Chain A
Amino acid sequence: MTRLSGGLIDRSKTLRFTFNGKGYTGHPGDTLASALLANGVRLVGRSFKYHRPRGIFAAGSEEPNALVTLRSGARAEPNTRATVAELFDGLQATSQNHVGPLNFDLLAVNDLLSPFFAAGFYYKTFMWPKVFWEKLYEPMIRRAAGLGAMSMQADPDAYDKGFLHCDLLVIGAGAAGLAAALTAARSGARVILADEDFRLGGRLLAEGETLGDAIAPDWVAGVEAELASLPNLRILRRTTVFGAFDHGIYGAVERVGDHLPTPQTVRQTLWRITAKRTLLAAGTTERHIPFANNDRPGIMLAGALRAYVHRWAASPADKVAIFTSNDDGHRTAADLVAKGMQVTAVIDPRRDAKALGQYPLYAGAVVSDTRGRLGLSHVQITRDGAPVWVEAGALGVAGGWNPNLHLASHHRGRPVWSDAHLAFLPAAAGGPPGLSVAGAAAGQGTTQAALTHGAQAAQAALADLGIAASLPDLPAASDAKGNQHPLWHVPGKHRAWVDFQNDVTVKDIKLAHQENMRPVEHLKRWTTLGMATDQGKTANVTALAVMAELTGQSIPQTGATIFRPPYTPVSLAVLGGGDTGPNFRPRRLTPTHPWAAAQGAVFVEVGQWMRAQYFPRPGEATWRETVDREVLATRAGVGICDVTTLGKVDVQGRDAGSFLDRLYANPMASLKVGMVRYGLMLREDGHAYDDGTCARLAEDHYVVTTTTAQAGPVYRQMEFARQCLWPDLDVQLISTTDAWAQLSVAGPNARKLLERVVDGFDLSNEAFPFMACAPLTVCGGLRARLFRISFSGELAYELAVPARYGNALMARLVQVGADLGATPYGTEALGVMRIEKGHAAGNELNGQTTAQMLGMGKMVSAKKDAIGTVMTRREGMLAESRILVGLQPVDPADPVTAGAHLFAEGAAQDTWSDQGWITSACFSPHVGSAIGLGFLTDGVARLGEVIVAANPLEGKSTRLRVVSPHFVDPDGGRLRD
């Protein structure tokens, strides 16, 4: 229960920490687990289902039991493995999953009810009555499930991401990984060496071995010093490579600041590593042997016990026993004795087992039970049916070692059983291309074999890339291959845990077998074996072996466990990336943004764009007041709106006209230079896709616009047409959306206002009629483009200037147009005016509508082969009789609700009687009531008819009159004035 001598901890410094509020001390180099053990703390948590007392079981990331909540407040992080939490001064940890104090958990009653909580319990119990599910079962299960709780506060730390590229990625810095990295780095190859630990060395740090004439940690330090001096090698400490993805891409998380009292610049970094070759040198994980009551605090993996003693000089108890089926357990016993600890028993089922040191050996025996309420006090040893109790505060269990082949199976590469190793080894083929496995992870488990294999594997991987690497001189190291005996569990009446984290026992596996949940995937889902944070690292193979025994088949016949990313848990914060709030995604600002912001505009997100939604003035109480004013001011005087967000594509080339003829349903090649035409694009299936305008600036030069939302997809479609469909046409495309600030100037005073800024340009109706376009200069020589087009139904122009001048131009227009009523308007007023004019927009162009429905059926030219034209001739499309109409409430006080469905008066409101739906609705200050646009069956023939708009969500029906969609200026006179 104290510190031993030695260890890789810095005793010159003391770190203070608390566990469940009680203060303790440790040293730099400690993990939370080693420090707790050194302070005599064995009980660290409660189990998931039965709330059994649990202690520290392992010494690495495979830990199933010792899950704690680290830190407090907003930084509280639940379900952290104490075995990998690096100790820092001021660390706070609390245990999880208990009601009341840890040593008197009220939910421990679940343990007495354990017969009810067997495998499949939830599936079988919470099936009926159905109404109980939402009200009772789910809340109850949710309360009882899970381990730690989230802080429910915003994470105060920063997370980062990055991209790395290398020739060779070495995963794991133990004997094999270090030898591989050294071999590769000396060859000049670009190498990344990643290890999840904060100290390089892997298992070498946990043993009392010598390499050549140096003790293992000293040899590691020597290699590390050389690696650190090589510019072509990068060491990533505290970095878990958690997943192997396609084509040599790996995901890794570097815990940059997790070990600091307060994370500094960045807490964690997500690295996306593109590696030409990868070596997996992740070592092995020890497995245990299930026996009755094998889950008491103090019972741990024998190799972990050895690691705590060597690396951390921490002893979990004064009296220690070892239960082993192999020679490696005896090595642990011998090392403990050498450290001066009292080993009270070594229990080995092999009758011919030999002691490696001075300790009582029980050969041909097993551990058959344990005692100790909150921590182990005695183990029961049974030999030839005769049990004896022996005192032990800790028990190391050694059931053999499983290679950490997880990443090798991330592409469904199935591991292969080896009788020689009594373990699954990575398959020679079927793993991620470019990845090979080295060292203990490949079954080369002695230190000597791991060193040699690591170096050779690196050499081979580099040879693949044409890089010659010579093998380094490696030190002489232990090459002792121990014997082992297959013992998968100790049979008995009591519960023997296989998976500690999910409270799965041998009995549960028997039940699964009995209920025919025998394939390994079924076993997992029926019992929850191998789920949660440890993903069964210490349980899966053992469970499989137990199932094999029950079915009377061999282990490989029973199945193999494969793995998915992530290898260990990855925080959502680091996957989410570095930026939150307004920087979470790119924001695109319009050229007039600074001016609009200074005017107090309210902005709205339109995709990535931030657009001015409306410009409130003092005294305006609601947004509607503002929008109504903007609409009326525009229709009475002149309004100005930034419409830069519409996509602009510059189309040039000898065949530009012919190209556009094939993209738009209506003709474009016939457009005269200096004129603009509305254009409708279809999808190849005949449905309406997007609309905009085409302006012909020269014989071989057009500028076309798209809707804001579809600017990207339409450009992609245009490139598809250019490169894939008609590569013989001479046409060049480039987006110019951002290059030009484009302002809409609309209203009866639009011409008068523009006359004040153009440089001697004749704006008269004769010289510059409706749908004309021209290059010109404004405001004393600024190059510009002018288009006489209208979305509002008013006399209107769009004026484009280089984007940097957009802000000043907006201010200028409002300033010089004050006497003309010049009023800036936002997207709301824009929307109201286009509905009043009956122009289709995104709501009408929703991918399910046709040109015919939009009232543009005649625009689809049959004389040319444009995208989508042919498919509009399908019977179903031609038979479509729903068409765009205007809708106005019979009672002017009634609302019009977009999304409401349309029915004949008196008809049943069901699918069979459905006659269409409302696409757009707004309050029209021009009409003086709410209005809408919608698609209505036989709409054109029904002008004047009263129909019903059903809004079943709100239980409302409104009577609407069918009217022309053109609420404003139906004959278009204003446009042409």
Chain B
Amino acid sequence: MTDLSPISALGHAVPQAVRIGTLTITENAGLALASLALRQGGGAPQPFGLPLPGPGGWANAGATSAFWTGPGAWMIEADGRAEDDFASALKAEAPGCSVAEQTDGWAVFEIAASVATLEALLEKLVNIDASRFVPGSALRTGLEHMSVFLIRRTEGQLALWAMRSAAGSAFHAIEAAARRLDVA
């Protein structure tokens, strides 16, 4: 175990969280992320028993989830494994695929609120049809000129992956939009 101390994407020793009425935005520093891409002629694996979702989809099995990022490409999320070499673990689960470490390429903010509030927030942030972005959906899109992944985990839970270097700007954008909503 290294004796160096990590910092979260927002630059602090501990992940940040903010509550605005019933809406919460939480930096999740424990979620590991790795990319998985199929090689030509190779079949789709089921890493950790996870069926890989189709375009626009997010699928979850226990502590591991996957979302589609492009033709033949996915991101795999693993709860609480950010400190592990998760890419190597995934590589072992997906032999013959291209895997790259992505945990620290991104920062994820988990947003929880009522359905109406989440959809009102989405309307202010991204140009996607919020009411059609149902649980199990995942998309990459632009948010305030940043490239982000959005995942609707449940009716009331949204995850937003932003480039780690722009985590502060992304957090600001979400928080500013949330504060402008009429959230009781």
Which of A's residues lie within 8 Å of B, judged by CB?
Answer: 158, 160-165, 190, 265-266, 272, 274, 578-579, 583, 585-591, 593-594, 608-609, 644, 650, 652-654, 730, 732, 734-741, 777-783, 801-805, 807-809, 812
Contact = CB atoms under 8 A, between A and B. Distances in A.
Interface string B150-184: 00000000000001111111101100110110000
4 nearest A-B pairs in the assembled complex, by CB-CB distance: A739-B105, A803-B104, A652-B98, A588-B165
Instruction: Say what secondary structure dominates the interface of chain A.
Output: mixed
Given A161-B124, A736-B101, A736-B102, A190 B169 contact: no
Contacts of A588: 163, 165-166, 169
A229 B72 CA distance: 45
Nearest to A648: B105
Contact of A809 (B4, B132, B173): B4
A808 B144 CA distance: 30
Contact of B105 (A165, A737, A780): A737
Contacts of B131: 165, 190
A609 B165 contact: yes
Nearest to A608: B166
Contacts of A164: 123
A589 B6 contact: no
B104 to A, nearest CB: 4
Contacts of B73: 732, 734
A571 B167 CA distance: 30
Contacts of A190: 131
A744 to B, nearest CB: 17
Contact of A265 (B82, B100, B106, B180): B180
Contact of A732 (B9, B39, B101, B165): B39
B92 to A, nearest CB: 15
Contacts of B106: 738
Interface in B70-107: 72-73, 82, 85, 98, 100-106
Given A162-B123, A802-B103, A585 B3 contact: no
B105 A779 contact: no
A805 B98 contact: no
B146 interface: yes
A164 B40 CA distance: 40
B73 to A, nearest CB: 7
A272 B38 CA distance: 37
A586 B169 contact: yes
Given A163-B128, A732-B73, A804 B7 contact: yes
Contact of B163 (A590, A738, A805): A738
Contacts of B144: 579, 586
Interface string B1-31: 1111111110100000000000000000100
Instruction: Say what secondary structure dominates the interface of chain B.
Output: mixed
A578 B6 contact: no
A782 B39 CA distance: 29
Interface of B: 1-9, 11, 29, 35, 37-41, 72-73, 82, 85, 98, 100-106, 123-124, 126-132, 144-146, 163-170, 172-173, 176-177, 179-180
A732 B7 contact: no
B1 A738 contact: no
B137 to A, nearest CB: 14
Task: Name which of B73, B132, B163 has the most chain A CB atoms within 10 A of its CB.
Answer: B163
Nearest to B41: A730
A735 B105 contact: yes
Given A594-B11, A808-B5, 7 more contacts: A160-B124, A579-B172, A579-B173, A589-B11, A589-B165, A732-B39, A808-B6
Nearest to A809: B4
B11 A163 contact: no
Nearest to B1: A781
Contact of B3 (A644, A652, A741, A779): A779
20 contacts: A163-B127, A163-B128, A165-B129, A190-B131, A578-B176, A579-B173, A586-B169, A589-B166, A594-B7, A608-B166, A652-B37, A734-B102, A739-B101, A739-B105, A739-B164, A780-B1, A802-B103, A804-B7, A804-B29, A808-B4
Contacts of B29: 804
Contacts of A578: 176-177, 180
A158 B100 contact: no
A804 B179 contact: no
A801 B130 CA distance: 38
B128 A587 contact: no
A265 B165 CA distance: 29
Contacts of A274: 127, 129
A734 B163 contact: no
Contacts of A272: 127
Contacts of B176: 578-579, 583
Contact of A802 (B11, B37, B104, B130): B104
Contact of B102 (A160, A739, A783): A739
Contact of A593 (B11, B37, B38, B130): B11
Task: Name which of A579, A589, A783, A805 has the most chain B CB atoms within 10 A of its CB.
Answer: A589
B184 to A, nearest CB: 14
A781 B2 contact: yes
Task: Name which of B4, B101, B146 has the most chain A CB atoms within 10 A of its CB.
Answer: B4
Contacts of A812: 4
Contacts of B39: 653-654, 730, 732
A274 B132 CA distance: 13
Contacts of A609: 165
A739 B104 contact: yes
A474 B73 CA distance: 55
Given A594-B11, A653-B39, A739-B103, A586 B98 contact: no
B124 A162 contact: yes
A782 B102 contact: no
Given A163-B128, A588-B165, A736-B101, A804 B6 contact: yes
Contacts of B123: 162-164
Contacts of A163: 123-124, 126-128
B164 A586 contact: no
Contacts of A801: 4
Nearest to B180: A265
Contacts of A738: 104-106, 163-165
Contacts of A265: 179-180
A583 B172 contact: yes
Contact of A734 (B6, B100, B126, B180): B100
A780 B2 contact: yes
A740 B102 CA distance: 9
A780 B7 CA distance: 17
Contacts of A804: 6-9, 29, 82, 104
A160 B6 CA distance: 35
Given A587-B166, A652-B98, A739-B101, A779 B4 contact: yes
A644 B165 CA distance: 10
A802 B163 contact: no
Task: Name which of B2, B123, B146, B169 has the most chain A CB atoms within 10 A of its CB.
Answer: B2
A590 B101 CA distance: 18
Contacts of B98: 652-653, 732
Contacts of B172: 579, 583
Contacts of A644: 165
A807 B7 contact: yes
Contacts of A802: 6, 101, 103-104
Nearest to B85: A783
A589 B164 CA distance: 8
Contacts of A780: 1-4
A162 B128 CA distance: 10
B127 A736 contact: no
A802 B2 CA distance: 12
Nearest to A652: B98
A779 to B, nearest CB: 5
Given A162-B124, A650-B100, A589 B168 contact: yes
Contacts of A162: 123-124
Contact of B4 (A654, A740, A805): A805
B153 to A, nearest CB: 21
